[in-house]
Amino acid sequence: MRSFAEIEAALAGPPLAAETLLAIAEEVLERWVIAREETPAVEVREGFRLLALHRQGTRGTPSFNACRETCREIAYHYNLLREETGAALLEQRQRMMLLLVKHLLLFVSGKLQVAGLGDFCCASRPLRLESS
């Protein structure tokens, strides 16, 4: 399994195809699911395994929903790239999809780092549960 630093380095390299970017996004979410000692989903949701993995990753951790739209935008950009034939738009959308995948990676790596401290965002999973 690649480390987040290795994945980040891959994203910083030569342009990647939509399929590769989508696979990286799935790999990132798999890391989150595995860290929670679960088996990553293999089924698809709305045509994307990425969305099934996101749903799985959110169970019991509502604040993980903060990356819901990022995942949906990745799926949307994947669809756009499959349809796009114009070189200029293709390049721009590919770059945007890369930035979205990178955002997901940074978000998940950050969530894993603070997992021991509790969630800080929209739905807290408080420290008090651990201390009580």
Interface residues with other proteins (CB under 8 A) are: 62, 65-70, 72-73, 76-77, 92, 95-96, 99-100, 102-103, 106-107, 109-110, 113-114, 117-124, 126-128
Q: Quick one: DSSP state of residue 45?
A: B
Distance CA 113, CA 34 (A): 14
Residue 96 beta carbon to other proteins: minimum distance, rounded to whole angstroms? 6
| Residue number, 1 or 12, with CB nearest to other proteins | 12
Distance CA 29, CA 51 (A): 10
Task: Classify residue 31 by burial, with Cβ atoms within 10 Å: 0-12, 13-18, 19+.
Answer: buried
| Residue number, 19 or 69, with CB nearest to other proteins | 69
| Residue number, 54 or 102, with CB nearest to other proteins | 102
